């Protein structure tokens, strides 16, 4: 397979990167948000963006920061990125993106970076631009600034359950608490409180001009099976569409059938498949 050299991109190629990200607005949403906020200079973005293709025709990019995210990576681009990255120490905590690219990278990098803690090869990527047909839960609302202490234990429980490790382990949870606080202050955290406790939560973890991406969806264990999730998600989607972005998107593990049924009821449709490698 013939491949072109991979190069680190700079601010002078920002327009080309933004045009490419517009071609994959859902799978590339996290990268698009960071580029919009901090540009391509690595010292501002706290990451590098690698490019594949000629200067006149950028074909693929790969974000390398806390996460490694390939965007529109063809088979030849995957091979070229892997050749470059295989010579470096792994610094990222996960690889996430379109399944074909992520699994292709991992197939080539596992001998250098392995073992992985978990590989999730099939995560349906879903999106909607319509108000859900489900009536929204009126008790689901944006979390207020003074409610971070009530939200944080639920956020820790969600993260631990979903990722398999506690966010408290690395630095006592200080970094994760800052992130939760930022989302609350930005009006991007939602919850339903009952007697002061969170029974449902979700966040707009990524926001671009094209989509608001929901993450951190969680129902308290004692409330599961009561049918509250669909109405709660409907409230989140309605608010996000009216206030934040023209579409709402998310991705879900293929084995999480209850969640997939909730999202289907709320009008989400498949727009691709992601994969995640966790370290």
Whether residue 104 is found in the same domain as residue 147: no
Whether residue 154 is found in the same domain as residue 254: yes
Cβ atoms within 10 Å, residue 221:
10
Tokens standing for residue 204:
């707009």
In the listed set 50, 82, 115, which residue is the last one of a domain according to the structure?
Answer: 115
In a domain, 133, yes or no: no
Angle between the N-to-C axes of helices 174-185 and 148-163, in degrees from 0 to 180, rounded to the nearest 10: 120
Whether residue 98 is found in the same domain as residue 147: no
In the listed set 81, 115, 149, which residue is the last one of a domain according to the structure?
Answer: 115
In a domain, 126, yes or no: no
Whether 70 and 59 have beta carbons less than 8 Å apart is answered as no
* Count of structural domains, the chain: 2
**pLDDT at position 59 over 90:** yes
Whether 94 and 279 have beta carbons less than 8 Å apart is answered as yes
Rounded to 5 degrees, φ, ψ at 201 are -150, 155
Task: Name the residue range of residue 27's domain.
Answer: 7-115
Whether residue 242 is found in the same domain as residue 191: yes
At residue 1 the predicted structure's pLDDT band, cuts being 50, 70 and 90, is low
Among 3-12, 124-133, 178-187, which is the least confidently predicted range? 3-12
Instruction: State how far the Cα of 102 lies from the Cα of 107, in Å rounded to an integer.
Output: 9
Helix (H, G, I), strand (E, B) or coil at 51: strand
Whether residue 103 is found in the same domain as residue 21: yes
In a domain, 134, yes or no: no
Q: In 3-state terms, the chain is what percent helix, strand and coil (to 5)? A: 40, 30, 35
Question: What single-letter DSSP state applies at residue 32?
Answer: H
Tokens standing for residue 41:
């200079």
Determine the pLDDT at residue 3. Answer: 61
Angle between the N-to-C axes of helices 257-265 and 229-243, in degrees from 0 to 180, rounded to the nearest 10: 50
In a domain, 248, yes or no: yes
What CATH number should be reported for the domain holding residue 204?
3.40.630.30
> Averaged over 6-29, what is the pLDDT?
95
Whether residue 111 is found in the same domain as residue 232: no
**Does 17 or 163 have the greater pLDDT score?**
17
**pLDDT at position 5 over 70:** yes
Whether residue 111 is found in the same domain as residue 183: no
Provide the whole-model pTM: 0.93
Instruction: Report pLDDT digits (tens) over 216-231.
Output: 999 999 999 999 999 9
Tokens standing for residue 16:
């080309």
Whether residue 80 is found in the same domain as residue 179: no
> Averaged over 101-112, what is the pLDDT?
97
In a domain, 247, yes or no: yes
Whether residue 102 is found in the same domain as residue 164: no
Determine the pLDDT at residue 41. Answer: 83
Instruction: State how far the Cα of 56 lies from the Cα of 239, in Å rounded to an integer.
Output: 40
Instruction: State how far the Cα of 229 lies from the Cα of 259, in Å rounded to an integer.
Output: 8
Determine the length of the chain: 279
**pLDDT at position 25 over 70:** yes
Instruction: State how far the Cα of 104 lies from the Cα of 102, in Å rounded to an integer.
Output: 5
In a domain, 1, yes or no: no
Residue that has been written with the tokens 């409180």 in this structure: 193
Whether residue 213 is found in the same domain as residue 263: yes
Please give the helix or strand (H or E) that residue 216 lies within, else none: strand 212-219
Whether residue 147 is found in the same domain as residue 267: yes
Determine the pLDDT at residue 56. Answer: 84
Instruction: Report pLDDT digits (tens) over 213-271.
Output: 999 999 999 999 999 999 999 999 999 999 999 999 999 999 999 999 999 999 999 99
In a domain, 194, yes or no: yes
> Averaged over 201-211, what is the pLDDT?
98
Whether residue 29 is found in the same domain as residue 107: yes
**pLDDT at position 273 over 90:** yes
Instruction: State how far the Cα of 279 lies from the Cα of 118, in Å rounded to an integer.
Output: 7
In a domain, 129, yes or no: no
pLDDT more than 90, % of the chain: 91
**pLDDT at position 32 over 80:** yes
> Averaged over 171-196, what is the pLDDT?
96
């Amino acid at each position: 397979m013939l491949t072109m050299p991979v190069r680190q991109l700079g601010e002078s190629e920002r327009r080309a990167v933004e045009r490419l990200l517009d071609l994959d607005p859902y799978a590339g949403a996290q990268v698009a948000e960071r580029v919009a906020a901090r540009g391509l200079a690595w010292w501002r973005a706290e990451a590098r963006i690698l490019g594949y293709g000629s200067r006149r025709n950028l074909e693929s990019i790969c974000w390398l920061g806390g996460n490694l995210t390939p965007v529109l990576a063809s088979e030849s681009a995957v091979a070229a990125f892997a050749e470059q990255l295989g010579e470096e120490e792994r610094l990222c905590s996960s690889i996430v993106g379109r399944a074909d690219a992520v699994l292709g990278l991992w197939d080539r990098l596992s001998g250098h970076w392995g073992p992985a803690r978990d590989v999730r090869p099939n995560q349906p990527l879903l999106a909607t631009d319509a108000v859900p047909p489900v009536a929204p839960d009126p008790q689901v609302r944006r979390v207020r600034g003074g409610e971070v202490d009530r939200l944080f234990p639920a956020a820790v429980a969600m993260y631990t359950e979903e990722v398999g490790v506690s966010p408290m382990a690395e630095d006592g949870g200080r970094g994760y608490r800052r992130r939760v606080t930022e989302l609350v202050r930005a009006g991007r955290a939602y919850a339903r409180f009952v007697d002061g406790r969170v029974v449902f939560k979700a966040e707009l973890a990524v926001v671009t001009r094209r989509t608001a991406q929901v993450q951190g969806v969680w129902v308290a264990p004692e409330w599961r099976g009561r049918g509250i999730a669909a109405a709660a998600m409907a409230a989140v989607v309605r608010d996000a569409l009216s206030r934040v972005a023209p579409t709402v998107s998310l991705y879900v593990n293929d084995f999480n059938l209850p969640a997939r049924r909730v999202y289907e009821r709320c009008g989400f449709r498949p727009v691709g498949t992601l994969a995640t490698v966790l370290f």
